[in-house]
């Protein structure tokens, strides 16, 4: 009974959420687009000519936002390159390259390297989140694993002067994640955009400039 009530409350909140309504109006696939929009407007992360990789891109709202920021070529197209990677399928987005697969696997990496064609990435985005079990210690380990993957990806493919934005959760293990980011990046800031629900412990970490580029 309690679960049914919870689902009903979530549905009520979701339907009445101003960001959900805005996403529907502006054609974004998820309200998450406005989290990236707010952080980008503060930090000026997305600029014409960049190579941007969106890890865990499905359903695609972050890639959509990045695409809209890079749009503006006469006759259509974008100034820059956007690559989305996810193990789940994603409906196509104009001007966005999508690779379905695990970015640690050889096949996905080959596809990525073909698109990059020798270039390094300017910005790594990761809105990835694990399926949470409710057990704080195991959930913290799952979140940390995804962040480790994003850092490893950045070390392998990003310009030393690039930036990484990842989603994590303010709770068990959060301080360790901040410490890990500080060990890897010269500048680290945490972001809690207004579009992130108040009752959510979701928070975003932004790391700029690799300390130990490979």
The CATH number linked to 108 is: 3.40.50.150
Tally of domains in the chain: 1
| Residue 107 annotated as binding site | no
Q: What is the mean pLDDT of the chain?
A: 91
| Residue 173 annotated as binding site | no
Region 83-87: what's the mean pLDDT? Answer: 97
| Residue 54 annotated as binding site | no
On whether residue 176 sits in a domain, the answer given is yes
On whether residue 17 sits in a domain, the answer given is no
On whether residue 49 sits in a domain, the answer given is yes
Domain of 48 in residue numbering reads as 32-210
On whether residue 16 sits in a domain, the answer given is no
- Between residues 191 and 17, which one has the greater pLDDT? 191
On whether residue 15 sits in a domain, the answer given is no
pLDDT at 54 exceeding the cut of 90 = yes
On whether residue 10 sits in a domain, the answer given is no
The predicted model scores a pTM of 0.90
The set of catalytic residues is 167
Region 9-26: what's the mean pLDDT? Answer: 73
Pairing of strands 81-86, 51-55: parallel
On whether residue 108 sits in a domain, the answer given is yes
| Residue 127 annotated as binding site | yes
On whether residue 203 sits in a domain, the answer given is yes
pLDDT at 188 exceeding the cut of 70 = yes
Q: Which of 2-6, 40-44, 143-147 has the lowest mean pLDDT?
A: 2-6
- Between residues 58 and 74, which one has the greater pLDDT? 58
pLDDT in tens, 94-146: 999 999 999 889 999 999 999 999 999 999 999 998 887 888 889 889 999 99
């Amino acid at each position: 009974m309690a679960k049914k009530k919870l689902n009903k409350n979530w549905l009520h909140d979701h339907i009445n959420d101003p960001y959900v309504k805005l996403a529907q109006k502006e054609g974004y696939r998820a309200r998450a687009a406005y989290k990236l929009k707010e952080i980008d407007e503060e930090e000026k992360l997305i600029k014409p000519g960049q190579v941007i990789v969106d890890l865990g891109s499905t359903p695609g709202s972050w890639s959509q936002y990045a695409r809209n920021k890079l749009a503006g070529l006469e006759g259509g197209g974008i100034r820059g390159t956007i690559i989305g990677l996810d193990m789940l399928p994603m409906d196509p987005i104009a001007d966005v390259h999508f690779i379905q697969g695990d970015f640690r696997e050889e096949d996905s990496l080959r596809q990525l390297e073909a698109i990059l064609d020798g270039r390094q990435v300017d910005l790594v985005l990761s809105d990835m989140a694990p399926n949470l079990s409710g057990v704080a210690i195991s959930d913290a380990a799952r979140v940390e694993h995804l962040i480790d993957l994003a850092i490893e990806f950045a070390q392998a493919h990003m310009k030393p002067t690039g930036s990484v934005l990842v989603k994590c959760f303010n709770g068990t293990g959060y301080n360790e994640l901040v410490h890990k980011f500080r060990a890897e990046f010269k500048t680290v800031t945490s972001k809690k955009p207004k579009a992130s629900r108040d009752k959510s412990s979701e928070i975003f970490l932004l790391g700029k400039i690799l300390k130990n580029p490979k």
